[in-house]
Amino acid sequence: IGRTLMAMAARTDTSGKLDEIKMPTLIMVGEHDKVTPPIAAQSMHERIESSQLEIIPDAAHMSNLENPAEFNKHLLAFLDKLKS
């Protein structure tokens, strides 16, 4: 955990570039995520023009493992939209 926290602290903040993203983007966040809380995901969504935000219920930061059915439902729907 210590190494992870040190790496996160040293990481460059690139959030200023979010508005440069011009492609369809799926943002998924667990409703109980403390690392990247839903309010942060909402902020990303507001800055990425063609984004879609899905809040995964009964999940925290590892929503793909904590609620895989809901995660996969949103991921597959997003990918299906890209195909059409």
Evaluated on CA atoms 31, 33, 34, 35, the torsion sign reads negative
Contact residues for 48 (Cβ-Cβ < 8 A; gap 6+): 18, 19, 21, 25, 27
Over range 19-35, report the average pLDDT: 97
The tens digit of pLDDT for each residue in 42-82 reads 999 999 999 999 999 999 999 999 999 999 999 999 999 99
Q: Is the pLDDT of residue 8 over 80?
A: no
Alpha helices in 1-84 (DSSP H): 2-10, 38-47, 63-66, 68-83
Annotate 63-79 with DSSP letters as a single string.
Answer: HHHHSHHHHHHHHHHHH
The overall average pLDDT reported for the chain is 94
Over range 34-38, report the average pLDDT: 95
Q: Is the pLDDT of residue 4 over 80?
A: no
